[in-house]
Structure 1
Amino acid sequence: MTQYFSDAVVEFLHQQGFEYVAFNPGASFRGVHDSLVHEDNAAIAPSIVMACHEEIAVAIAHGYYKASNRHMAVFTHANVGLLHASMALFNAWCDRVPLFVVGGNGPLAADLRRPWIDWIHTSQHLPKVVEDFVKWSDQPIGQRATLESLYRAHQLMDSGMKAPVFVTLDFDVQEQRLEDGVRLLPADAARPAVLPALDSRAAGELAARLRASRLPVLVVDFSGQDPRTLRPLVALAEATGAAVVDRGNRLSFPSTHPQNVSGIEGDLLAAADLVIALDVQDLASALGAFLDLDDRGAPPPGTHVVTIGPGELLTSKWSADHMPLVPVAQAHSAQVLGSVEALLAALAAAPGDASGARERAERTGRLAAAHHKARATWAAEAERCAGQERMAVSSAVARIHEAVRDEEWVIVNSGSVTVDTWVRRLWPLERPLSCLGLNGGGGLGYGPGASVGAALAHKGDGTLCIDLQSDGDFLFTPSALWSLSAYDVPLLVVVMNNRQYQNSTRHAERIAAARDRATEHAHIGTGFEENPVDFVTLARAYNVHALERVESLDGVVPAITEAVAWIKEHGRPVLVELLTE
């Protein structure tokens, strides 16, 4: 049997455990496409997830990884496909998600190019489009070099700080017959390097500080990317009586735990004398929420700030996603899970005295009282808003939970900052990976594709996957509904339709007010009220089952209940549109 280099690429994907590959089809990787569908490769080829846009294909892989910590490969077509994919790659970069993206390129050998199309779809250095927001990129020439690049990319995306990688496949190389002697490397050649945890000395010193602290605070953020971290973090908080602030890029700590004071940290933690930040992206904002930082961004005297995580190992020369520099007492480039376990071991080796135990008990009592008061206040606010003429987001979020609370649910996308905030206030987020959060980069168009990928990761396991989908984000990439329907992905899409780009509307109101101008024009150029979108009809056009639009709060529970029953019976997606404020 004649083998082509593209067959070896498929063998590589199989060897490294890729179950799926997502793409919008393009001629620049037609060789690999043929190998993926060739009958002789049927036993090893990853399943294809076709998308109607490269931004959607990348987002599908993004959501798939966040839901499962498993990789889905992505192929992009030449120049134009990568340009379409670039927004989604930026989201993944900011969201610290390792994506394996391979881009077809036209023949670098000019004499092999077809007239016109191969010339405009061939780049001298294709990775330049995205190289400032991927961890590593390469444009190899030749079969051996290409295989080595694929292994290196796979290794690097998961080493230390996780992030996307990009490798090009030359049009001609992938279509060549496999050269004699070209074969795969051992599977473990792509094994990532492991970042060490805190050593015993550093862990012992920090444990001593924790025992002596009057008000220790754990700030968590991306630590929840590894679901194994949640349980030891809870143990660490309980052993030390520390307050916990979850910044929300991942679900890193149970929202219902009495020591979780996220969203109410303010004056409550102003006297913190020890802050341990675990894989925190925006440390300045995290600390500024409860400490009085000086004009250099430094914490007040007497507050000892320690950072643990891989953040310093990866920065972009192009994007300022590294955030403001905060002077800290100690910065450890270390694995979070192992470091938390090392701290627990150090605490167990030298437990505190009885007076320290009393102080911890009193402190956790104060934290618990503040925690329970805040959650009761938020629930009361949602109930108070239930009487509004236009459905409040808070009330809708509460009713959706009421309808699904007995299910094994996962919120695969929480739509917008407003929706995400109310989910964290009202829903019991207790299981690792039960709320996957937002897009990371602030780029609209993420939600539909990412939700498809996350629900695909859960397909067949009985989990109810819920996409709390903002309307503006949806309108960037509505054709993700095609992939959702085509692959029978069981997903509950709840469109929170306020008929506006609310963030832009609020900005328009603020700038008008600041200039002492009328705010009633803020909706111009920021909303859809005068020409509304019918999301129900849109979904049905893509063969997605959709219920009639819900315009009153009383209709939310019946509609969601009906939608969940339909998903269970048919194993296919359902869309419910809610008209909100």
Structure 2
Amino acid sequence: MYTTGTAFLEALQEAGVSYIFANLGSDHPSIIESLAIAKQENRELPTVITCPHEFVALSAAHGYAQATGKPQAVIVHVECGTQNMGGAIHNAFKSRVPVLVFAGSSPYTQEGELTGSRNEFIHWIQDVFDQRGIMRGYSKYDNEIRTGANVKQLVHRALQVAKSDPPGPVYLMGAREAMEQETTPVTIQKELWEPIAPAAVPPNLIEELVKDLLAAKKPLIVTSYLGRKKEAVKELVRLSDNLAIPVIESVPHHMNFPADHPMHCGSYWNDAKQNELLAEADLVLVLDSDVPWIPTKNKPSENATVYYIDIDPLKEEMPLWYIPSKRFFKADAHTALQQINVLLEEKKEIDQKAVAVRRAEYTALHGHLKEERRQAEQAGEDVITPEYLTGCVRELMDENTIILNEGITNYGVISNHIEASVPGSYYGSGAGSLGWNGGAAIGMKLSQPDKTIISLTGDGSYLFSVPSTVHWMTKRYNTPFLTVIYNNRGWRAPKHSTLGVHPDGVANAHQDFYVHFDPPADLAGVAAAAGDAHAITVKDRSKLKEALVEGLKQVKEGRSAVIDVYIPHVYTDEAVTTEPVKETVR
């Protein structure tokens, strides 16, 4: 039999999907049977990765797409599995990551009228009026497969939408009867379903931008995710070199500009202070950034000229968003930077004396900022500070290392102190639902098995990642990675938020924020139990480097490792707790 399910899987294969991250249910008999037949007949289809939790499935597809730009498929069970993806679909949508999600739906016949008709009580319970509506606020496209006659067209159309700027998740669903339907094979010319070409800045307006750049005395570039296209990093370096323009990263979730470049002037997160470079700038060029600054804390001068280049400059999915700018360009940053650089070099009107002065000034600032980071890493005496921990991790890195940052209240510390300088070597989730780190590490390791993946996460983010599922999958599918937990025994972010609004409130007076995890759990032990991970809990600063080196050694030998590191407590800011867990090494 050649069914809609068979054609669906073939379409994924034709479109270049390598993996299906699957959490299968009673709605997927056609998928399961088609996979079994293909295996028996030695026909190639995407590899199925069994995922005991849907959040991890989508996070893995997210990580794979971040590292490669290639969307993978996720298969989940009806509306329950769709909802169980929860925050992961928020992450994929907000961080503009392409992925195709397919869910079955309850059968629409109940008396055996068609193959696949209802035969389990759950088929009534899981029948809802608008299953696609669950995803509509978090996907670029949704549709229902009703017949095998055009299922391939729907798959290719969905992936074309997913990959086109701004990229994002797409959602298809299909009932058992439709997926079990016998159909006729269809041949698709996949080259006719390519994503839209990158957009450029209109020629007359690029002239205006270049003119303003040349006239600026204190130009500044701010970016967050320009590095989603590795080739764009080279063009940004070219522009910065040409005009000696400093670069600041705002909540970076890609490696956008080399940290070892003399024009790199750090990054900021929720810093409650004004960045001096931003305040002094007379021209700010924003490239691929959703939140280049937080106006209540940090913003450019009212006299500064702002240009905004982004794949989504209006932030159409953000109800409240505005940054008044001279020009907004809906353009691919790599393409726009090429335009700027070519025009700059053709004009030959660069004030080399002014450039030399800026270069000397910002090179000195770059060196000063680096020295400040080194001093911060050595502070704390016997306490393991986040700065010291990140510096120790940095010492382990080489050109084949990929860092994942889900440190949340330590996000800024990690992004500054890790000092990533190789395109594609650093990622954050790019969104706001915690737990991305575990599944993302699996996806990235699958996409680049020769790379060493190091996931830096808070204890809250680690728990949100469903570590039991993550580490079971890691062992089964041979995707070892190193996890380092910045364990402050609680959620520090809600405490910070409360103090930001009520600095002199009762919660602060009583130091009661309802966010601590005391007595702490054996977090590393979860990974050991679920996936035989090498598990270490570290509280002593003198033992940290040894533990990290051993953990990395285990990873390179094929076994995941989790290093649970006690940093200052969420409440007391001391690296102790009233009820410590026993130090364990497995």
Change (3 A) 1:37 1:246: farther
Residue number in structure 1 paired with 2:359: 364
Residue number in structure 2 paired with 1:61: 61
Q: Secondary structure at the match of 2:103?
A: strand
Q: Which moved more, 1:252-261 or 1:9-18?
A: 252-261
1:18 paired to 2:22: no
Task: For residues 251-274 of structure 1, give each alpha carbon's deviation from its aligned partner in whole angstroms, at most 9, with x where no partner exists.
Answer: 211122221223487223423222
CA distance in 2, matches of 1:162, 1:287: 30
AA at the equivalent of 2:310: G
Deviation at 1:428, TM superposition (A): 2.7
Correspondence list, 1:228-267, <5 A: 228-247=231-250, 248-263=252-267, 266-267=275-276
CA distance in 1, matches of 2:307, 2:331: 12
CA distance in 1, matches of 2:426, 2:155: 32
1:574 paired to 2:571: no
User: Is residue 382–residue 540 contact of structure 2 (8 Å, CA) maintained in 1?
Assistant: no
2:521 aligned to 525, 530, 533, which one? Answer: 533
AA at the equivalent of 1:267: E
Deviation at 1:508, TM superposition (A): 4.9
Change (3 A) 1:40 1:312: farther
AA at the equivalent of 1:114: N
Residue number in structure 2 paired with 1:336: 333
AA at the equivalent of 1:350: K
CA distance in 1, matches of 2:524, 2:313: 46
CA distance in 2, matches of 1:578, 1:284: 31
Residue number in structure 1 paired with 2:386: 393
Q: Which moved more, 1:142-151 or 1:129-138?
A: 142-151
Correspondence list, 1:96-245, <5 A: 96-111=96-111, 112-177=117-182, 179-180=183-184, 182-245=185-248
Q: Secondary structure at the match of 1:436?
A: strand
CA distance in 1, matches of 2:497, 2:331: 39
Deviation at 1:406, TM superposition (A): 4.5
CA distance in 2, matches of 1:276, 1:288: 19
Deviation at 1:372, TM superposition (A): 1.5
1:434 paired to 2:434: no
Residue number in structure 2 paired with 1:279: 288
AA at the equivalent of 2:276: D
Deviation at 1:466, TM superposition (A): 0.2
Aligned length: 554
Q: Which segments of 5 or more consecutive residues in structure 1 lack a partner in the other structure?
A: 293-299
Residue number in structure 2 paired with 1:296: none
Task: For residues 63-84 of structure 1, give each alpha carbon's deviation from its aligned partner in whole angstroms, at most 9, with x where no partner exists.
Answer: 1111222222101110100010
Change (3 A) 1:215 1:44: same
User: Is residue 78–residue 126 contact of structure 2 (8 Å, CA) maintained in 1?
Assistant: yes
Residue number in structure 1 paired with 2:298: 289
Residue number in structure 2 paired with 1:31: 30
Residue number in structure 1 paired with 2:308: 307
Q: Secondary structure at the match of 1:252?
A: coil
Residue number in structure 2 paired with 1:409: 401
Residue number in structure 2 paired with 1:483: 473
Q: Which segments of 5 or more consecutive residues in structure 2 lack a partner in the other structure?
A: 112-116, 269-273, 569-586
Change (3 A) 1:405 1:151: closer
CA distance in 1, matches of 2:292, 2:463: 33
User: Is residue 508–residue 522 contact of structure 1 (8 Å, CA) maintained in 2?
Assistant: no
AA at the equivalent of 2:283: L
Q: Secondary structure at the match of 1:369?
A: helix
CA distance in 2, matches of 1:536, 1:516: 35
User: Is residue 140–residue 168 contact of structure 1 (8 Å, CA) maintained in 2?
Assistant: yes
AA at the equivalent of 1:242: I
Q: Secondary structure at the match of 2:20?
A: strand
Correspondence list, 1:44-83, <5 A: 44-83=44-83
1:562 aligned to 550, 557, 562, which one? Answer: 550
User: Is residue 509–residue 519 contact of structure 1 (8 Å, CA) maintained in 2?
Assistant: no
Task: For residues 526-556 of structure 1, give each alpha carbon's deviation from its aligned partner in whole angstroms, at most 9, with x where no partner exists.
Answer: 11222x2112321221133224311112212
Correspondence list, 1:484-523, <5 A: 484-508=474-498, 513-516=503-506, 519-522=509-512
CA distance in 2, matches of 1:215, 1:287: 23
User: Is residue 86–residue 130 contact of structure 1 (8 Å, CA) maintained in 2?
Assistant: no
Deviation at 1:566, TM superposition (A): 2.0
User: Is residue 215–residue 269 contact of structure 1 (8 Å, CA) maintained in 2?
Assistant: no
AA at the equivalent of 1:236: L
Change (3 A) 1:512 1:211: closer
Task: For residues 205-259 of structure 1, give each alpha carbon's deviation from its aligned partner in whole angstroms, at most 9, with x where no partner exists.
Answer: 3222211211111122221111110011100111112121222132211122221
AA at the equivalent of 1:464: T
Change (3 A) 1:44 1:388: same
Q: Which moved more, 1:445-454 or 1:105-114?
A: 105-114
Deviation at 1:43, TM superposition (A): 3.5
AA at the equivalent of 1:466: I
RMSD between superposed Cα atoms in Å = 2.2
Change (3 A) 1:41 1:513: farther
AA at the equivalent of 2:309: I
AA at the equivalent of 1:575: V
User: Is residue 395–residue 553 contact of structure 1 (8 Å, CA) maintained in 2?
Assistant: no
AA at the equivalent of 2:179: Q
CA distance in 1, matches of 2:31, 2:192: 22
User: Is residue 307–residue 328 contact of structure 2 (8 Å, CA) maintained in 1?
Assistant: yes
Task: For residues 272-301 of structure 1, give each alpha carbon's deviation from its aligned partner in whole angstroms, at most 9, with x where no partner exists.
Answer: 222221122124538973414xxxxxxx23
CA distance in 1, matches of 2:42, 2:86: 31
AA at the equivalent of 2:517: F
Residue number in structure 2 paired with 1:295: none
Q: Secondary structure at the match of 2:553?
A: helix
TM-score, scaled to structure 2: 0.89
Task: For residues 136-178 of structure 1, give each alpha carbon's deviation from its aligned partner in whole angstroms, at most 9, with x where no partner exists.
Answer: 111232223433221211001111211111111221111122x
Task: For residues 26-50 of structure 1, give each alpha carbon's deviation from its aligned partner in whole angstroms, at most 9, with x where no partner exists.
Answer: 1212311322233246431111111
User: Is residue 536–residue 562 contact of structure 2 (8 Å, CA) maintained in 1?
Assistant: no
User: Is residue 284–residue 325 contact of structure 1 (8 Å, CA) maintained in 2?
Assistant: no
TM-score, scaled to structure 1: 0.90
